[in-house]
Each structure stands twice: as C-alpha cells, then as structure tokens.
Amino acid sequence: MPTSFLEIVELPDGRIELRRAEDEGSLVTLDFSEDAKAFLQGQHVEVAKAMLSVGVQMAGRLAEGEPEKDDGPRILH
C-alpha cells in the first residue's frame, strides 16, 4: 500500500472508520454494539483509536517483511 495519511472518522451511525485522508473509501470499519459502548462508558472512540493504531503498526511491520512471530497455536476470540 502506498504511503498516505490515514484518518479515523466516526460516522453518523456510530461506526468508526479508518480511511485514507484523500479517499472516502473505508479501509477498516469498527462497529461497537450498544452493550460494548455502555461497558466502555462512552470511551469506545478511544478504544477504537488504540485498536486501529496497533493494527496499522502491525501492517507496517508485515509490509517491511518482518515475519510474524509464531509462538504456537493462534486463538482468535
């Protein structure tokens, strides 16, 4: 993926998107349930920022050819 500025946008329907600043297309969309928003006490945007930040860092490492560590079985929750 070419280098570009990324932005995190909260949409009117409450979903949170990561997209290129010069593009309206979504790269990633997060949609927190009402239960999750209540549990996070309104801080879901901050949680989304942290999640997306880690994801972008991981994608950058993978793009640079840094191999993913394989420490055993992967459990996806």
pLDDT digits (tens, 9 = 90+) for 12-66: 999 999 999 888 889 999 999 999 999 999 899 999 999 999 998 888 888 888 7
The residue written with tokens 């979504």 in the block is 26
Does residue 1 surpass a pLDDT of 60? no
The pTM of the full predicted model, rounded to 2 decimals, is 0.74
Q: pLDDT tens digits, residue range 32-43?
A: 999 999 999 989
Q: Which pLDDT score, from 0 to 100, does residue 27 have?
A: 93
Q: Which residues touch 1 (CB under 8 Å, ≥6 apart)?
A: 59, 63
Residue 8, classified by CB atoms within 10 Å of its CB into exposed (0-12), middle (13-18) or buried (19+), is middle
How far is residue 72's CA from residue 70's CA, in Å, rounded to a whole number? Answer: 6
Q: Which pLDDT score, from 0 to 100, does residue 42 have?
A: 87
